[in-house]
């Protein structure tokens, strides 16, 4: 095959249609007209001599050939982006891009502070923060769409061999109560008191919920006796519900610093129980690491770590640019 039967623009269009579910929304996301998108798809199908979409339904559905092309196309586009970033590093040590991933809680409460420190050091570097579930974030790191990530959930088993995982920090999950609750007067509450609380939680499949159940079970608490009054889909919603007097909850201490300072929530201590989870830094050792990512790893990560990170860890010595090259990323 002397000439490729597709272009990068056509691969971008295919990816956008698959992501958005329609030709119109894909066109809007790419800032082009819908007829232009349709024409590119028609040309692509003609060049490949296979249909890429089933056009019978309301939503654009990929055929088997479409799924196959999308799978390889995403890899091609990722490598193109990686190439551009490597060239950008070579030519412009004061610019570049850093793409950081995070799971929900760390992305909402920890990473913005870390990025703030990094931006003070390197204001010319563009920073993107992608916040998703631990599983989705892990796949983004594995695919090279994200430089590195801080996650609190369990790694997908099918990625454990391709990703490097470095324990980074301990995250305490604090029991919070409304300030009007009678147990606020107690310096420490008893384990038995937990059975009398009405809990507000994330759904049962969430990482934080699983960690809480495991730690409480190991501490002798029968979690089947706990009263789960309400399930909400965000930490902010849970904090507001507790503040309104609707129940109690376990949330990351990083999520309640402001509320504790303002005195609108109470952090209750439970006798003999401390609920913690490990936050991990993850990265793909087989992918190119930009100088911006090196600078973030060497100059920002250690400032927020509560776990001792081995300076000989592959996290610090993976990149060919290493710490010495990270210093070449000039500060203003």
What whole-number distance in Å separates Cα of residue 101 and Cα of residue 279? 13
What whole-number distance in Å separates Cα of residue 132 and Cα of residue 109? 13
pLDDT tens track of the chain, all 332 residues?
447 889 999 999 999 999 888 899 999 999 999 999 999 999 999 999 999 998 776 788 899 999 999 999 988 988 888 777 777 665 554 667 899 999 888 999 999 999 999 999 888 888 999 999 888 999 999 988 899 999 988 888 888 888 988 888 889 999 999 999 999 999 999 999 999 999 999 887 787 888 888 889 988 999 999 999 999 988 999 999 999 999 999 999 999 999 999 999 999 999 999 988 889 999 998 888 888 888 898 889 988 887 665 555 556 555 444 333 333 444 45
The CATH T-level fold of domain 94-169+279-327 is D-Maltodextrin-Binding Protein; domain 2 (3.40.190)
- Res 329: pLDDT: 46
Domain limits of the chain? 8-86, 94-169+279-327, 170-277
Measured between alpha carbons, how far is residue 198 from residues 215, 225, 230, 250, 327 in Å?
A: 18, 11, 8, 12, 52
What is the crossing angle of helices 23-30 and 8-20, to 10°?
120
The CATH architecture to which 170-277 belongs is 3-Layer(aba) Sandwich (3.40)
- Res 153: pLDDT: 80
What tokens were used for 292? 């911006």
Fold: same for 94-169+279-327 and 170-277? yes
- Res 256: pLDDT: 95
Question: In this structure, are residues 248 and 176 in contact, taking their beta carbons and an 8 Å threshold?
Answer: yes
What is the crossing angle of helices 34-48 and 23-30, to 10°?
110
- Res 116: pLDDT: 95
Looking at residue 107, what DSSP letter applies?
A: I
174: nearest Cα among 275, 279, 246, 304 = 275
Tell me if the domain spanning 8-86 has CATH number 1.10.10.10. Answer: yes
What tokens were used for 62? 């990929």
**pTM of the full predicted structure?**
0.67
Question: In this structure, are residues 330 and 93 in contact, taking their beta carbons and an 8 Å threshold?
Answer: yes
């Amino acid at each position: 095959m002397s000439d490729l039967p597709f272009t990068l623009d056509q691969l971008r269009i295919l990816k956008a249609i698959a992501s958005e579910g329609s030709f119109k929304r894909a066109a809007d996301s790419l800032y082009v007209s819908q007829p232009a998108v349709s024409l590119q798809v028609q040309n692509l199908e003609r060049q490949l001599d296979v249909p890429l979409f089933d056009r019978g339904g309301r939503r654009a559905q990929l055929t088997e050939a479409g799924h196959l092309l999308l799978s390889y196309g995403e890899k091609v586009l990722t490598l193109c982006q990686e190439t551009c970033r490597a060239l950008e590093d070579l030519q412009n040590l004061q610019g570049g891009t850093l793409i950081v991933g995070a799971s929900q809680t760390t992305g909402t409460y920890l990473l913005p502070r870390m990025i703030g420190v990094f931006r003070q050091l390197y204001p010319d570097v563009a920073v993107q923060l992608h916040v998703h579930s631990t599983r989705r974030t892990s796949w983004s790191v594995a695919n090279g769409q994200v430089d590195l990530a801080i996650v609190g959930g369990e790694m997908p088993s099918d990625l454990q061999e391709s990703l490097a995982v470095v324990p980074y920090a301990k995250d305490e999950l604090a029991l919070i109560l409304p300030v009007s609750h009678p147990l606020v007067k107690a310096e420490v509450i008893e384990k038995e008191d937990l059975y009398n609380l009405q809990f507000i939680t994330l759904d049962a499949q969430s990482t934080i919920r699983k960690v809480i159940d495991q730690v409480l079970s190991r501490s002798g608490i029968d979690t089947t006796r706990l009263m789960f009054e309400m399930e909400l889909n965000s930490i902010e919603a849970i904090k507001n519900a507790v503040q309104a007097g609707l129940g109690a909850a376990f949330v990351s201490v990083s999520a309640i610093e402001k509320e504790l300072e303002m005195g609108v929530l109470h952090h209750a201590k439970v006798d003999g129980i401390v609920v913690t989870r490990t936050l991990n830094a993850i990265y793909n050792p087989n992918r190119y690491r930009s100088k911006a990512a090196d600078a973030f790893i060497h100059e920002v990560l250690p400032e927020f770590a509560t776990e001792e990170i081995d300076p000989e860890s592959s996290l610090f010595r993976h990149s060919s640019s290493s710490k010495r090259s990270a210093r070449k990323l000039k500060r203003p």
